[in-house]
Amino acid sequence: MRLHWTDSLTGAVGYLVVHTMRAGLATGGTRMRAGCTLGEVEDLARGMANKTATFDLPVGGAKGGIDFDPKDPRAVEVLERFCEAMRPWLDSHWVTAEDLGVPQHLIDEVFEKLGLGQSYHAAISRAADPAATLERVRAGLNAAVEGGFLLGDVIGGYGVAHACLAAAVWWGQAPAEATVAIQGVGTMGGAAAYYLHEAGMKVTTVADAAGTLYCPDGLDVPALLDLRDSYGEVDRTRLPADVQQLPRAAILSSDVDILVPAAISYAITPDNSFDVRARIVVEAANAATTPEAEAMLAARGIPVIPDFVANAGAVAWAWWLLLGEVDDIPENSFDRLRTIMHSKVEQLLAAWAEAGVTPRDTGHLWADDPSPVAGPVAIP
């Protein structure tokens, strides 16, 4: 199902695409980006359906997208009017969340203003005691974790980091011997960088919308993340002396073991796929690699761990939280996600090495065979 929306005040255009409903629910974040297209939102909604099926979540896939610059001073009002227009869906069927250009705290503020509590409203409202469920969900999202972050903000990036670490384990490489480059240091890329650095991996290169930052000995990730603004851009005036500034596109040709696109969709295309020198691509961003580019990478022996596995920790965890399967004790969430991510990535890489099946094709076999959902989902 595709809904088109036009903002009467700014002319901004927005879309809701519902790819699959399960037990009357579909889930997927809302992105805001100048140039966002219906085709992009369709791809993302399909990706969400693959994620929820791969992780056996009792919910289908959807996505919202608004073609508007998130840095425009009118951006919050546009998001508010979009959510108001989508209210029938947000009230009953569509569980949304943060995405590119829309942080979780912002979408939650908009929901609160609209009297919908929090962005998981459509699921929370099905609970026997919605107020208690809202409190429980908020406690999980806002649980403090090391580094001064909130659990809900870092869990997706933690999953990406462990997809990378699982790949290194699979090759028999110690984290300290492996190098990684990350395109995007916002919610996903920033958290992935933090946990990879914490695990001892050398994050030599990161990029944000303003360019690429490089330090051959490994970047001081926590210090760099402290220099970010609310759009995930690093303040260049306060960079440590050993950090080199390179053009934005340089991130893709980084000489590293692992490349993590964690920003825009369609980052790796046939035009630049030959620039990629990494041994593996781990997709933190949704639809980061076009199908043609992925085929070109595969032909060069470079596997891509697909978005619907690598970054699905974010949505899987949100549903574990809603279903009461994890709580506000961060270790419980980290342990569960780490175990599942390592197991999935090992299986994907085994099928790649042993039978030449791409990780995406193996992932699709899982996504095409989800467990049936019997009756309405019980939200405690």
Catalytic residues: 63
Q: If binding is defined by CB under 6 A, does position 260 make contact with ligand NAD?
A: no
- Give the pair of three-digit tokens for residue 113: 């203003």
Give the shortest CB-219-to-ligand NAD separation in angstroms.
Answer: 14
Structure tokens at 287: 């639809």
Q: Is 183 in the site for ligand NAD (CB under 6 A)?
A: yes
Given the rule CB under 6 A, which of 8-16, 95-103, 196-204, 219-227 is the region that contacts ligand NAD?
Answer: 95-103
DSSP SS3 for 71: coil
* Overall size of the chain counted in residues: 380
Question: 280 phi and psi, to 5 degrees?
Answer: -155, 150
Closest by CA to 167, choosing from 158, 154, 178, is 178
Choose one: 111-119, 163-171, 181-189, 298-306; the region binding ligand NAD (CB under 6 A): 181-189
Q: Quick check: 108 binds ligand NAD (CB under 6 A)?
A: no
Is 278 a binding residue for ligand NAD by CB under 6 A? The answer is: no
Q: Select 259 or 262, whichever has its Cβ closest to ligand NAD.
A: 262
The smaller minimum CB distance to ligand NAD, of residues 268 and 314, is found at: 314
* Candidate residues 184, 359, 363, 370; the one interacting with ligand NAD per rule CB under 6 A: 184
96 binds ligand NAD (CB under 6 A): no
C-alpha span between 234 and 58 (Å, rounded): 38
Structure tokens at 56: 């056996």
Residue number, 64 or 357, with CB nearest to ligand NAD = 64
- Residue 185 interacting with ligand NAD (CB under 6 A): yes
Binding status of residue 311 toward ligand NAD by CB under 6 A: yes
**Alpha-carbon span 334 to 142, nearest angstrom:** 15
Q: Which stretch binds ligand NAD (CB under 6 A): 72-80, 107-115, 230-238, 365-373?
A: 230-238
Closest CA to 361 of 287, 312, 306: 306
Q: Closest by alpha carbon to 342, among 119, 114, 164, 90?
A: 164
Among 58, 60, 175, 232, binds ligand NAD (CB under 6 A): 232
Rounded distance between C-alpha atoms, residue 231 and residue 179, angstroms: 26
**Closest distance to ligand NAD from the beta carbon of 93 (Å):** 20
Which of 18, 26, 262, 268 touches ligand NAD (CB under 6 A)? 262
320-325: Cβ within 8 A, 24+ apart: 321/136, 321/137, 321/140, 321/141, 322/95, 322/120, 322/123, 322/124, 322/133, 322/137, 322/379, 323/58, 323/377, 323/378, 323/379, 323/380, 324/136, 324/379, 324/380
Taking CB atoms, the residue at the shortest distance from ligand NAD is: 186
Q: Which of 27, 54, 118, 187 binds ligand NAD (CB under 6 A)?
A: 187
145 lies in the site for ligand NAD, by CB under 6 A: no
Residues 156-175 that bind ligand NAD (CB under 6 A): 156
In 3D space, the residue among 74, 108, 116, 110 whose CA is nearest the CA of residue 92 turns out to be 116
- 265 touching ligand NAD, by CB under 6 A: yes
With beta carbons less than 8 A apart as the criterion, state whether 111 and 82 touch. Answer: no
Buried b (16+ CB within 10 A) or exposed e, 354-364: eeebbbbebbb
Distances from the Cα of 355 to the Cα of 85, 345, 349, 362, angstroms: 48, 15, 10, 10
Kindly tell me which of 52 and 183 has the beta carbon lying closer to ligand NAD.
183
| Nearest to ligand NAD of 314, 351 (CB atom) | 314
Footprint on residues 43-82 left by ligand NAD (CB under 6 A):
none
Output the smallest distance, CB 200 to ligand NAD, in A: 23
Among 75, 116, 154, 207, binds ligand NAD (CB under 6 A): 207
The pair phi, psi for residue 96, each rounded to 5°, is: -110, 175
Residues in touch with ligand NAD (CB under 6 A): 98-101, 156, 183-189, 207-209, 231-233, 248, 262-265, 284-286, 311, 314
